[in-house]
Amino acid sequence: MGMRGKFLTFEGVDGAGKTTQCDALAQALTARGVPFVRTREPGGTPLGEELRGLLLQRAMEPITEALLMFAARREHIVAVIEPALAQGRWVLCDRFTDASYAYQGGGRGLDAARLDTLAQWVQGALQPDLTVLADVAPELAQARRARVREADRFEAEALEFFLRVRAAYQARAHAEPDRFFVIDGARSPEEVTAEILQRLDPWLEARQ
Ligand code: TYD
């Protein structure tokens, strides 16, 4: 067996540009011949995608919402993320546990200690090697979203909700500066991609 793959996650408020960066990274890894899996949360497995459908559309109270997010995550880790990393593939994941702290914690107001318990239970020691946080003013993100699609249950939340989500993301990035790579989501996507690739360079070199 060769080296374990790297686990990269992409976070930010809806409309911050995380998916654009995830796409760009996928292209860059393909060009470099790095085997990877691209996936997302909630989702990434058949059961997870069904849960995603419920989470994005059906009204539910916040603890139920958190439990379903973590249920989908458990399936995802066991069926997709861990096997890929063990085979030496990189995993590019559009959202992971930081989103639960930001949305269910910051946004909905759930106690972080409860989320810690769920995270411990569901993922144990598994942590992303790098988390790209696309940080942008929620006002700008909202304007971008309005141009491209109809709002789902989260996207329909008021601006204040997204201000709390952003603040929770920023606090997590501040607490774990080595794991987080914060990018300014208002800058040009190409510039930002180049910066992320620079950050990944040592890991890419190590594969040569
Ligand atoms: P998102 O990746 O933004 O989907 P899309 O770009 O296709 O709209 O994710 C869907 C929503 O799920 C998003 O609004 C944030 C929310 N979410 C949580 O609230 N908690 C979580 O733990 C995760 C993973 C996502």
Residue type, 122: V
Q: Which domain holds residue 66?
A: 7-206
**How many structural domains comprise the chain?**
1
Q: Which residue's CA is the closest to the ligand 1 atom numbered 1?
A: 14
* Maximum CA extent, the chain: 49
Q: What is the pLDDT of residues 109-159, one digit of tens each?
A: 999 999 999 999 999 999 999 999 999 999 999 998 888 888 999 999 999
* Residues in a beta bridge with 134: 183
117 within domain boundaries: yes
When pLDDT is cut at 50, 70 and 90, the band that residue 1 belongs to is low
Convert the pLDDT of each residue in 76-119 to its tens digit. Answer: 999 999 999 999 999 999 999 999 999 999 999 999 999 999 99
Pocket lined around ligand 1, Cβ cut-off 6 Å: 14, 19, 40-42, 69, 94-95, 99-100, 103-104, 154-155
Residue 1 lies in a domain: no
2 belongs to a structural domain: no
Phi-psi region of 149 (alpha: psi -120 to 50; beta: other; left: phi over 0): beta
185-200 pLDDT tens trace: 889 999 999 999 999 9
Q: 134 C-alpha to center of ligand 1: Å?
A: 14
Stretch among 1-5, 46-50, 132-136, 146-150 having the lowest mean pLDDT: 1-5
Please, are residues 108 and 169 in contact by the beta-carbon 8 Å criterion? Answer: no
CATH at residue 176:
3.40.50.300
| Per-residue model confidence (pLDDT) at position 100 | 98
> Using an 8 Å Cβ cutoff, are 138 and 160 in contact?
no
Among candidate residues 170, 55, 154, 150, the one with its CA nearest the CA of residue 107: 154
Question: Looking at residue 2, what is its pLDDT?
Answer: 75
Alpha-carbon gap, residue 57 to 4, rounded angstroms: 36
Residue type at 140 in one-letter notation:
L
The pTM of the full predicted model, rounded to 2 decimals, is 0.96
CA of 207 to the centre of ligand 1 (A): 32
Q: Which residue's alpha carbon is nearest to atom 20 within ligand 1?
A: 100
SS3 202: helix
